Amino acid sequence: MSRMIARLICKDGVTQTTTRDIMRTFVEFLQSKYEPIQVDDVCVTRMEKAGHGTLPLGLRDFLDTPITEEVLKAAVR
């Protein structure tokens, strides 16, 4: 059984009912939740050294690639 989001209330309290508005609201939420933050490069280096060093470089690069609009749409569907 497939489930579908039929309506969504955005941060302004407005109910969104069209697919386009629901997607826009979802994307805006994720962008505000996961926007880039300032970090200390020294701390990042320390964290990298503390973790497991078994992940191949190619996979690390893959994890850093941004999520495309097409991938997001496929995940939502």
Tens-digit pLDDT profile for residues 16-69: 999 999 999 999 888 888 877 788 889 888 887 886 667 777 777 788 888 888
By CB neighbour count within 10 A (0-12 exposed, 13-18 middle, 19+ buried), where does 23 fall? middle
Domain membership flag for residue 56 = yes
Domain membership flag for residue 53 = yes
Domain membership flag for residue 57 = yes
> Which residues constitute the domain of residue 29?
8-76
Using CA atoms, how far residue 35 sits from 32, 55, 56, 60, 63, in Å, is 5, 25, 26, 20, 16
Rounded to two decimals, the pTM is 0.44
Domain membership flag for residue 72 = yes
Domain membership flag for residue 36 = yes
User: End-to-end alpha-carbon separation of the chain, Å?
Assistant: 13
Three-state DSSP state, 9: strand
The domain tally of the chain equals 1
